[in-house]
Structure 1
Amino acid sequence: MSSLRQVWALPTVLVAIANISATWYKLVSERVPRPYLDEYFHVPQAQRYCQKDYTWDPKITTPPGLYLASLLIKPIAGCDISALRALNVGAICLICLLSYQIRRLLRRPLPPRRTRTEASVPQFKDDETQTSLLDAHTALNISLFPPLFFFSGLYYTDVLSTLVVLAAYSTYLSQRGTHNYLLSSLLIINIGVLALLFRQTNIFWVAVFPAGLAVVDTLKSYDEMLDAPVEQAGPRHYFAFLFYLPRDVLMKPIAVIKAVFPYLILLGLFGGFVLWNGGVVLGDKSAHMATIHLPQMLYLWPYMVFFSLPLTLPSLLQPILPVLPNHLRSLLETNLTGPSSPSSPIAPSALAALLFNVSAFAAVHFNTIIHPYSLADNRHYVFYVFRLLFRHPVVKYLAVGVYYICALLTIRILGAPPHPAPTPSAKTAPKRQQKLASAKDSSVQISFVLVWVGATALSVITAPLVEPRYFIIPWVIWRLHVPVEPGRATTVRLALETAWLLAVNLGVGYMFLYREFTWASEPGSVQRFMW
């Protein structure tokens, strides 16, 4: 029975997301049969490509990957708006599939440089049945991520762009430790170039992000790096990691250069494109002028927490578990939080709080940028958030505390869930085996946090406009790394997450389809609420 559940876990979630996205696509097609908002530019451009007319609309600033994909499927599906939108229904299903594959690859340990004395040490394996079910459920939740799922019913770039970035990340993970360096490099470069055909900012996710991880993996394979688990790390661990990183790289320069060489090629190709194009964007460059907008990294944290509310419950409830009645504490530990762990940090570091809040206050005071669209276009939810945020000059400063709490929760979610005390047999196991078992169950390491934050910052802080779509890939990559270990509490949290994501999608979908309105300046033109 267990093996049967394992075999059917992935097909079940694929059927689920296919049905949910197909229903959304059908409703959008019935209620919004004509192009809406950015589709007004994308659909005609794709249809010109389908007619072998490659004339470029200067209002479009992203590369033509979306239209090239539509050209490929034209012989099968055609090029009317229904066929074009259906492309993203297929893409969201492939995102679910790739998310599952990445989760499985992340469970695979990094191939070590083993000595002869270590060669005979048995390697620990996951409980394949339990973890495959959890990873399939995680993949379903990722594909239901509201800012991503919403556009699976429209003809936008975001879904396919996310798909190719995940394909690039899956390639990186699958090629770790490979002995065919040339073939692996060519594969990484080709998929990276494909990702850049969909969005320029993908360069940070197909080159910078995996290059950073590749450096860490390479140094770890030589035991040249100390990398603390997230739940055990304080500011000194992060500072120490960054301080010693240059030294560690200089100790193994050839190995590091070899590891990042494919990504340097991608960066070089992208740099050549920028020089040839005279800038990063295509079309009307004045519409997307790059600038430094540091508060984007503050807006990220409430975004992460809002869409992941059920996952924050253990961090929120752990501090109060010891003071609860025994029966209530036992109920929560069994069904939601997992067992309490005295080694888990309860109070945040004072130094981390000071550094974050001082930096955030400075960014808010000196670098807050209000794009004209943010307070002018009431079709987008950001309009209403910003109206609240800037209703009074003091509010934006009070929000700094919210940003800090949300950042703390976002990072803590990456920590390993607490586990019961080891069994007697585990206590008597050889130390080497205990170390391997601990490594299997360990949380995300601080190296991932630093690389992920760096790639996220590079991809968003140059944008003056705040859009939920800009944070899709950072959320997806983060969510893929949230530890998921077998247990009733994990299953309950995943179920609550599914319910929450479906509820948000239902609310946003209803508002888009049925809460139409018009502007006095454009009578007769129907407007709709959307991300």
Structure 2
Amino acid sequence: MGCTCDEERDHAAVEFCRDVEKEVVSGITLNIIMWPIISALFCYVAYTLNTTGLPYVFIDEKFHVDQTLRYLRGEWSSWNGKITTPPGLYLLGWLQYHATRFVSNWSTLSVLRLTNLVGGLIVWPWVVLRPMYLFHALGFWPVTLMCFPLMVSYYFLYYTDVWSVIFIIESLNLALVLPFGETCSIWLSALCGLISCFFRQTNIVWNVFIMILVVERRAMIQKNFNNLSFNNYLKLFLHSLENFHSLVLPYFINFALFLIFLVYNRSITLGDKGNHVAGLHIVQFFYCLMFIAFFSLPVWFSKQVTLSYMIRFVMNPVKYILELFGIMLIIRFFSVVHPFLLADNRHITFYLFKRLIGRGQLVKYWVMAPIYHFSTYIYLEVMRPSTMIFHPILPIEVKDPIDLPFQLSNISWTALILCTFMTVVPSPLFEPRYYILPFIFWRIFVTMPPEPFWGNAEGTVTATKRHLSEFAWFMLINVMLYIIFKRVDIKWETETTLQHIIW
């Protein structure tokens, strides 16, 4: 039946048999069944929003729509000074409008919003996620990541986030799956990585991560990685020099072009530079890990994880207290409260900060610091069993990078943490949209554990229940946010239409 035997993590080393064949077949079947149902539901939500619920531009849409309309009028040199991102979305919107302008009864806003709906419901699960899923069926379900709450909200709006994610994760997909052969796939991966930067500049950091993966997956085979981390770093560096033209150059071109952009623009931000000044907002990293721990609850929740965290505290309370003290110091000296956060009550973060994170010294330090500590532990602990372990002497048996599992080594795992840090910490604004890519990159490389939510795994087990729970968890969050969006009306003196709450 295709069983593999594993050991439960840490303190409960009980062998069990994982029915891989059953798990893969049931996963594929459920994905095929659920995709049209969820797509139809999202299409209905999009229809209601565009006809009665939200038939007008909402929050930042007014800037994005305005710029696209300028392009549609042929004003290619005109630029809205309030926009901070490059024109990738507006060029895509221009193409979308001309492709669907024959539908005469649709408003321009509806046509432009359709850009993200098509991307989220078709391109994202089928073009980007499906190839990786076929190589990593024990890790994630495409239909589940299609329902990731931080992305779903923007399927119905005209924002940059959906296609930013699509292009940079497609770059990852091409680099790992190599559908067009090694050379062509790597160059196409770099091209998709470059295009993604036209939707969000910080994607250049994720280009670095993907390049490291490309080099690493070949170096670990040809240079025989072992369990000595420092040696592996040296081997990676040497391999990158020896294969610069084939592995590094495609991404290096992106870095060179980005450097030219920085010199020319004198900032990473376009347009409204005054309200988007990069800084050292280290607490933002803890915000990100807190969101990742929250959304990944069905992935990590188990007796083993809970006990291991408690045992860690009991065995070394001094270390735990010192770590909490360090987090408190970061909260004290590296917290940034952006004026937009306190002024805009149309975002969940406004209420989260006002009623929890920033509510008095007691909550700010003595409640949030342990939450940040636990979230950091979850972020690291969940990935730990999914990282590669090398033999101290024997070489890797795999001889082709495409045959390597979807796992990170000590190098790429460190790179993922650093890239997450680099993309969120410079931003002064507490904005959940910035956590989409850190979560997606992390989640793709996590293998769903097969153990039950509470109790010991015995006999034959699968992770199907956890996958279903993750899907249900995402949909529950989506439904709750949609109810809040529909039922809570906010009146702004500066806006002629009713405002609502989104992420």
* TM-score where L is the length of structure 1: 0.76
Whole-angstrom distance in 2 between the partners of 1:356 and 1:391? 22
AA matched with 2:433: R
Cα distance change, pair 179–71 in 1 and its aligned pair in 2 (3 A): closer
Residue matched to 1:347? 312
The answer to whether the 8 A contact 1:32-1:513 is kept is no
Q: Which of residues 298, 309, 328 in structure 1 aligns to 2:297?
A: 309
AA matched with 1:76: A
Residue matched to 2:75? 53
Whole-angstrom distance in 2 between the partners of 1:378 and 1:162? 26
1:102 aligns with 2:66: no
Whole-angstrom distance in 2 between the partners of 1:433 and 1:188? 26
The answer to whether the 8 A contact 2:174-2:186 is kept is no
AA matched with 1:300: C
Residue matched to 2:177? 174
The answer to whether the 8 A contact 1:415-1:483 is kept is no
Post-superposition Cα deviations, 1:189-213, rounded to whole Å, max 9, x if no partner, equal 32222111111011111x2111222
The answer to whether the 8 A contact 1:96-1:139 is kept is yes
Residue matched to 1:454? 418
Spell out the pairing of 1:352-501 with structure 2 (5 A cutoff). Answer: 353=320, 356-387=323-354, 388-398=356-366, 399-416=368-385, 444-484=408-448, 488-501=461-474
AA matched with 2:108: D
1:270 aligns with 2:258: yes
Post-superposition Cα deviations, 1:404-460, rounded to whole Å, max 9, x if no partner, equal 11111122222448xxxxxxxxxxxxx9999xxxx9889654333211111111111
Residue matched to 1:191? 192
Post-superposition Cα deviations, 1:153-210, rounded to whole Å, max 9, x if no partner, equal 1111111111111111111113399553xx34532332222111111011111x2111
Displacement of 1:317: 6.0
The answer to whether the 8 A contact 1:512-1:529 is kept is yes
Q: Work out the number of aligned pairs and report it.
A: 448
Whole-angstrom distance in 2 between the partners of 1:515 and 1:393? 30
Displacement of 1:393: 2.0
Whole-angstrom distance in 2 between the partners of 1:59 and 1:304? 30
AA matched with 1:31: G
Residue matched to 2:241? 254
The answer to whether the 8 A contact 1:175-1:184 is kept is yes
Cα distance change, pair 495–8 in 1 and its aligned pair in 2 (3 A): closer
Post-superposition Cα deviations, 1:312-344, rounded to whole Å, max 9, x if no partner, equal 222566639xxxxxxxxxxxxxxxxxxxxxxx9
Displacement of 1:226: 3.3
Whole-angstrom distance in 1 between the partners of 2:322 and 2:31? 43
Cα distance change, pair 250–140 in 1 and its aligned pair in 2 (3 A): closer
Post-superposition Cα deviations, 1:65-88, rounded to whole Å, max 9, x if no partner, equal 111111112232137011111111
Spell out the pairing of 1:43-122 with structure 2 (5 A cutoff). Answer: 43-54=65-76, 55-78=78-101, 80-93=108-121, 94-97=123-126, 98-105=128-135, 107=136
Whole-angstrom distance in 1 between the partners of 2:425 and 2:145? 24
AA matched with 1:57: N
The answer to whether the 8 A contact 2:226-2:232 is kept is no
Structure 2 portions without partners, runs of 5+? 1-20, 102-106, 387-394, 451-459
Whole-angstrom distance in 2 between the partners of 1:491 and 1:60? 43
AA matched with 1:465: L
AA matched with 2:133: R
AA matched with 1:89: L
Cα distance change, pair 248–357 in 1 and its aligned pair in 2 (3 A): farther
CA RMSD of aligned residues (A): 3.4
Post-superposition Cα deviations, 1:113-151, rounded to whole Å, max 9, x if no partner, equal xxxxxxxxxxxxxxxxxx4xx66x711111111111011
Post-superposition Cα deviations, 1:252-271, rounded to whole Å, max 9, x if no partner, equal 45336343222221111111
Cα distance change, pair 352–38 in 1 and its aligned pair in 2 (3 A): farther
Displacement of 1:284: 2.4
Whole-angstrom distance in 1 between the partners of 2:249 and 2:278? 28
Displacement of 1:381: 1.1
Cα distance change, pair 280–384 in 1 and its aligned pair in 2 (3 A): same
1:14 aligns with 2:35: yes
Displacement of 1:522: 4.6
1:212 aligns with 2:201: no
Whole-angstrom distance in 1 between the partners of 2:209 and 2:25? 37
Q: Report SS of the residue matched to 1:91.
A: helix
Cα distance change, pair 38–6 in 1 and its aligned pair in 2 (3 A): closer
* TM-score where L is the length of structure 2: 0.80
